[in-house]
């Protein structure tokens, strides 16, 4: 009997890499490990006003702007790179 018998573990990215290792470890303890990446990604796309999930370049463009002279008047601001989801 495992410590996690009758428990459900929701692991995003459980199909490969470290996520797969985590899911396997949880399953060995008795949990039903589920990969919810596709469900989470679909839900995020539906909730985001831009209708898509972000990509690294989206955040990179924000970082490049903040490091540029155009951002010289910004000081102590909070910038949300969220596609409109807050």
Q: Is 38 helix (H, G, I), strand (E, B) or coil?
A: helix
What average pLDDT does the segment 32-45 reach? 79
Residue 30 near residue 50 (C-beta atoms within 8 A): no
| Residues whose CB falls within 8 Å of the CB of residue 11, separated by 6 or more in sequence, listed in order | 19, 22, 23, 26, 33, 34, 35, 36
Is the pLDDT at 8 greater than 90? The verdict is: no
Taking 80 as the threshold, does the pLDDT of residue 72 lie above it?
yes
**What digits encode the pLDDT tens for the residues 57-69?**
999 999 999 999 9
Q: How far is CA 13 from CA 5, 8, 38, 59, 66, in A?
A: 22, 15, 9, 21, 31
Query: Which pTM value belongs to this model?
Result: 0.52
């Amino acid at each position: 009997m495992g410590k996690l018998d009758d428990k459900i573990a929701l692991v995003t990215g459980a199909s490969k890499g470290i996520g797969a290792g985590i899911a396997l470890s949880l399953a060995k303890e008795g949990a039903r490990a589920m990969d919810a990446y596709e469900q989470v990604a679909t839900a995020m796309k539906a909730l985001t006003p831009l209708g898509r999930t972000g990509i690294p370049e989206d955040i990179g463009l924000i970082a490049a702007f903040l490091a540029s002279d155009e951002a010289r008047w910004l000081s102590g601001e909070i910038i949300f790179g969220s596609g409109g989801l807050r």
